[in-house]
Structure 1
Amino acid sequence: MTRKLDSVDQAIVERLSPDARISNSQIAEHLGVSEGTVRARIKRMEEEGQIRITAVTNIDRLQNATLAYIWIEVERTDQARQVAQRLSGIPELGFVAVMLGRSDILAITMVRNTEHLARFVHSNISCIPGVRRAESTLGVNFVKHDYRMARIVS
């Protein structure tokens, strides 16, 4: 059984978020707990799947890469989860979610250019049974990219 994060767990996560390389002793000193407490809690949260410590790419530093949003409409609403599951098996997609609103599914990937995006959509997405339509948009000017958003994507 996975338990909810308490205030100490949340404080540890907040300290790890800007820089996961921070030492357990620095976190412990800031929170007024022992280093062993911090270490044990991080280990438990990782084992229970509550957190994952990973590197997050700074999109501004990637050469010739553009973030592509692919909005997918399925033929029947009851196919959305099945199509999303199929999409999740495509390694190039970094995000797949069933959505509420105009589109049934949102998939996000990185592409080199519009030709690359068109080939990717036609060869990997449009051919999936149940996909009615796929519409793509490209991110062209990122005003804000909050690295902490990676925490909500599993």
Structure 2
Amino acid sequence: MTRRRLDDVDRAIVNRLSQDARTSNRQIAAELGVTEGTVRARVKRMEEKKQIRITAFTNIDRFRDVCLAYIWVEVERTSQVREVARKMATIRELGFVGEMLGRSDILAITMVRDHEHLAEFVYGQISSIPGVRRTESTLGVNFVKHDYRMARIVQ
């Protein structure tokens, strides 16, 4: 299967939708100097090819009773990283799981109520996974910048 690269018009459409996904095809077409049909067809193609997905996200800036928690995981053996990450990815509460280079093998991100909730979650859900050697957790306390295009990681 050959992958189609996004051209300048595709990128402009994606950029406009990333600012406000409710923007009409007609408005995007007028801004870009193309037809509404062109915008509609390109959005449909990009969605079908899974190059984009249009969805709504919660605004974490509005939550007052939750904290963003970062859970850094060190795995016993390098050969276990992928399997541990896959098991972590099945945990519904985790909005992001990624294999990392550097001090920790895996980073997971979730939302918790407080440090006690985080401790319960880490000890009950993460530390019990075979291959997990050590975890380190941090809580976000003040977000200076939050780009909603990255909001997928916290669901």
Same fold (TM over 0.5): yes
Distance 1:67 1:149 in 2: 13
Matched, 1:107 2:108: yes
Moved over 3 A (4+): 150-153
* Residues 2-52 of structure 1: CA deviation (Å, up to 9, x unaligned): 311111100000100111000000000011111111111111111111111
Residues 152 and 43 of structure 1: is their aligned pair in 2 closer, same or farther, counting only changes over 3 Å?
farther
Contact 2:95 2:152 in 1 (8 A): no
Shift of 1:150: 4.2
Q: Secondary structure at the match of 1:17?
A: helix
TM-score of the two chains, using structure 1 as the length reference: 0.95
Matched with 1:65 is: 66
- Residue 85 of structure 2 corresponds to 84
Considering only aligned residues, what root-mean-square deviation do their CA atoms show, in Å?
1.5
2-structure distance, mates of 1:150, 1:37:
28
Match of 2:30 in 1: 29
Instruction: Please give the per-residue CA displacement for 1:36-69, whole angstroms capped at 9, x wherever unaligned.
Output: 1111111111111111111122111113010000
Shift of 1:149: 2.6
Identity %: 74
What corresponds to 1:44 in structure 2?
Answer: 45
TM-score (norm 2): 0.94
Amino acid at match of 2:51: Q
* Contact in 2 for aligned 1:51/1:151 (Cα 8 Å): no
Ranges in structure 2 where 5+ consecutive residues have no aligned partner = none
Matched-pair contact (CA < 8 Å) for 2:57–2:152: no
Mapped to 1, the partners of 2:66 and 2:117 lie a distance apart of 10
Does the 8 Å contact 2:96/2:153 carry over to 1?
Answer: no
Are the aligned partners of 2:73 and 2:135 in contact in 1 as well (CA < 8 Å)? yes
Q: CA deviation at 1:148?
A: 2.4
Cα 1:146–1:109 change in 2 (3 A) is same
What is the alpha-carbon distance in structure 2 between the residues aligned to residue 10 and residue 38 of structure 1? 11
Q: Distance in 2 between matches of 1:127 and 1:42?
A: 43
- C-alpha separation in 2, matches of 1:150 and 1:78: 30
SS at match of 1:116: helix
